[in-house]
Each structure stands twice: as structure tokens, then as C-alpha cells.
Amino acid sequence: MKINGNIIIGQSGGPTAAINSSLAGVFCGGKKFCDGKIYGMRNGVEGLLDERIIELSDYIKSDRDVELLKRTPSSYLGSCRFKLPEPVEGNEIYEKLFSIFEKYNIKGFFYIGGNDSMDTVKKLSEYAAFNGSDVRFIGVPKTIDNDLVITDHTPGFGSAAKFVATVTKELVRDGLVYEMESVTIVEIMGRDAGWLTGASALSKGDDCEGPAMVLLPEVPFDYEYVKGRIAEIIKTQKSIVITVSEGVKTADGKYVCELGSSKGTDTFGHTMLTGTAQTIATMLKNDLGIKTRAVELSTLQRCASHIASLTDLTESAAVGEYAVKAASEGQSGKMALLKRISDDPYICVTDTADVREVANLAKSVPLSMINENGDHVTEEFIKYVRPLIEGEVSQLTVNGLPQHIKLD
């Protein structure tokens, strides 16, 4: 049964290389499972409140446009960081939103985002249930951090992991060029969860030594231990790469970057985590007297669509499409997700879960995937992540560069 009316899609939170592939999936799902128009909200719920609404088919006009959308990094519709208040009756934000749904005859609402976005879906669906609204709300997960629960993994993670593993592999080769002892410290995103940093270990193989150590935020950072291990490893391997999550903390809860010079806080009052690798590099250089180098993968790891994982882009689109199918079957207050039904061969299928079981929870790397010394990931981790980076996306290029699609 098709959704009888129009649907609307939004994107929220930090972008990924696959978030537009999910948008393409919802768009294609809309064409299959919805009778009406497919709207997009600009800059998430924030833009929706100002009725900044477009009709997607005015912009995505061909199959090629859909393919370009899948390959374009960042959020095509723009994003926001907007936290809905609690859904108490008479709240004017909710009244405004539901009056817009009515005005545009919107019967399905799809929100692509991370934890906070699932909270938005949860609140809107609860408000709808309480007020007898027939609008259906489905969340579509995305985050490079892979820290959402229940889903096997999050769309967007595989592409970021592929970028991290690829450049780690290149940096390991690069580091071995001179006949001298050197340590390259690569800083990788992940404030609380080490999934992405762990992905650097995928670089190890017949043709690559891989990182000598992998330091995750799940394990307290012990500088004396790290220094000692490096001094030992460097005796036999002259040049090594170690990877470290931006969020590693000492046992007494201090961010490693705070061990060096102060870096201030961002606009949300979070401690700014730049400089973790640089802090460690400077300390090691001073204490061990060896050449060190800090490399921060920075924003590149969330937008490097030029080396996206085909598995990730395909799954991201599938989850988006399934969200619309689920709504067409009457589901609401759910998150579409991936369920792994086989490891070998790797098979993931789409499913849904109650969004209340997902929102505001986070998934860390379990101890079983971290080695005993707490300085590397295990084979179980590799086995879990490897399939997610498989497959190359054929680039659509123009003038020697990957082609994108943009709205304005």
C-alpha cells in the first residue's frame, strides 16, 4: 500500500560521504511507495519551521542526477543542530510543525541523522501518537562514528573507514622512505567511540605493515606505557605509524590534548580536541629523541566521497528506501537499520527498530574487539569491519575531478 499524500525528507547533524546516498534512497523509495510529492526541508527541522521546503523532483531530474547525488559528500539539503524541546501539549514548535504537515499534506516524515536526529523522530512520533495525527515518522541513521545501537553498523561509517584505512596504508609506506627512526601519529575522529580509529588496522596485510598501535577512547591513555612500547617496537621496525582517536583520555579523565597547550572550547562548550596527535608527537620527540610527525585526518574523513565504499553507498541508499517502505506499511516512531544475517558471505538486510531503543544511546567498541594490552584491535574487529569497506564506486568525473550535484 502506498502512502496516501506527500512525504518530506531532512538531513541533520554532521555530514558524511554517504548521507546523500540515503537521501537518494528515500527519494527513490518515495517514487515507489508514495502517491504524492517528495519534499525536502532545507537545513533540517530548523529550515522546516521557516517553511524552507523544496520539491525534490524539481532538482533531481534524471537517473544520472540520482547517481551524482549518491556520490556527493556533505548534506545536499543542508543540515542543522537543532534539539526539539520535550513534546508537551501546547508547545508552539510542535503546533507549528504539525500545521506545516497539514498545509503541505505531509503524511511521511524521514529524518537522516545520528543520535540527536533519532531523538527528534522519537519526540515527533510521540507527539503524533498523543494527538492522533496520522503522519508517520521514520529515522534514517548516518554517522561516521558507527556509535548507534541495534543497527549492525551505521551508513556513512564504511566510507569513512575506507578513507582512514587507505590513507593509513599510504602513510605507512611513506614513513618507510628514509633510513631513520620515525614515528607518525595519525589522529582520527571519534570522541567517545573508537570504531573509526580501529578501521586504520584494516591497512595491515601482505603489502602493508599496518599501524603499530591503535589507541581507542575505550581504553584509558597511559603515556608511560605508550612511550615504553614505542621505544621497544622501534628497535626492530625503524619507522612506525600509530593511530589515535581524538577522544583518548587519561585514567583521570583528561583529554590527551589537554596535556599540551590549552585549546579552549567550541561554541557548545565542548573541549576542542584538535592537537591530540601533535601533543603526543611533541612528548615522544622530547622523551625518546626520535623524529615524530603528527597527521590529523580532520574533516577529510567525513567528506572523502572520492574513495567511498560501494557497500556503504549501496546500503545507505537501501536503508533510505526501506524507511519509506516501512512508513507505507504503517510503521512510525522507528529507525530503519541494517541487520547482518551472515558473516561469510557477508549479507546485511534492512529492518526497523523502535526509535526509543536507539535515541540517546551510544555503542562503544566492545572489549572483545580490543587486544589484551589495550593498544590494538583484534581479529574479531577486522572481521566485523572489513566487509563494510569493500567495493569501489565508479566516479563520475568532470575536468579531472569527481562530479558533484549542488542545490543552489
Stretch that binds its own copies, among 108-116, 139-147, 247-255, 295-303 (CB under 8 A): 295-303
Cell of 191: 570522541
* Burial readout 163-188 (b: 16 or more C-beta within 10 A, e: otherwise): bbbbbbbebbeebeeeeebbbbbbbb
DSSP result, 17-52: SSHHHHHHHHHHHHHHHBSS-EEEETTHHHHHHTT-
The answer to whether residue 350 forms part of the interface with its own copies (CB under 8 A) is no
Selected binder of its own copies within 25, 29, 73, 87 (CB under 8 A):
73
Give burial (CB, 10 Å; 0-12/13-18/19+) of 230.
buried
Please report how close the Cβ of residue 176 comes to its own copies at its closest, in angstroms: 7
The one-letter amino acid at 39: Y
Contacting range for its own copies; rule: CB under 8 A; set: 43-51, 109-117, 250-258, 353-361? 43-51
User: Shortest distance, CB of residue 204 to its own copies, whole angstroms?
Assistant: 10
Shortest distance in whole angstroms from residue 213 CB to its own copies = 18
- Is the Cβ of residue 14 or residue 198 nearer to its own copies in the bound state? 14
Q: Which among 110-118, 242-250, 338-346, 393-401 is the span making contact with its own copies, rule CB under 8 A?
A: 393-401
CB atoms within 10 A of CB 305: 23
Instruction: Pick the stretch among 92-100, 103-111, 291-299, 367-375 that binds its own copies (CB under 8 A).
Output: 291-299
Q: For residues 133 and 274, which CB has a smaller minimum distance to its own copies in the complex?
A: 274
206 catalytically annotated: no
> How many C-beta neighbours within 10 Å does residue 408 have?
4
Strand pairing report for 239-245 and 136-141 = unpaired
Q: Left if phi > 0, otherwise alpha if psi is -120 to 50, otherwise beta: which for 148? A: beta
Task: Give the whole-angstrom CA distance, residue 244 versus residue 222.
Answer: 12
Grid coordinates standing for 338? 541494517
Choose, by CB under 8 A, the member of 65, 152, 174, 192 that binds its own copies.
174
Q: Which is nearer to its own copies, 88 or 180 (CB)?
A: 180
The count of C-alpha atoms lying within 13 angstroms of the C-alpha of 317, restricted to the half-sphere facing its C-beta, is 17
| DSSP states along 172-209 | HHHHTSSSS-EEEEEEE--SS--HHHHGGGGG-BTTB-
Taking the least distance from each CB to its own copies, the nearer of 203 and 328 is 203
Least distance between its own copies and beta carbon 317 (Å): 19
- Among the listed residues 37, 227, 340, 404, the single contact to its own copies using CB under 8 A: 404
* Contact criterion met (CB below 8 Å) for 57 and 349: no
Select the residue interacting with its own copies from 147, 218, 296, 375 (CB under 8 A): 296
Binding mask 230-269 for its own copies (x = CB under 8 A): -------------------------------x-----x--
Q: Which listed residue (63, 65, 119, 145) is catalytic?
A: 145
| The only residue of 28, 273, 389, 393 in contact with its own copies, by rule CB under 8 A | 389
130 lines the binding site for its own copies (CB under 8 A): no
CA distance 302 to 373: 29
- State in angstroms the smallest separation of the CB of 90 from its own copies: 28
Nearer to its own copies, 71 or 107 (CB): 71
Of the candidates 343, 392, 352, 402, the one whose C-alpha atom is nearest the C-alpha of residue 118 is: 352
Instruction: Rule CB under 8 A: say whether 55 interacts with its own copies.
Output: no
Q: Which three cell numbers stand for residue 62?
A: 534524471
What residues contact 79, with CB distance under 8 A and at least 6 apart? 11, 12, 13, 14, 15, 43, 44, 113
Q: State which of residues 213, 307, 313, 324 lies at the interface with its own copies (CB under 8 A).
A: 307
Give the footprint of its own copies on this chain (CB under 8 A). 14-15, 43, 46-47, 72-75, 78-81, 162, 165-167, 169-171, 173-174, 176-179, 184, 202-203, 205-208, 261, 267, 274, 278, 291, 293-300, 302-307, 309, 386, 389-392, 395, 397-406
Question: Which residues have a catalytic role annotated?
Answer: 145
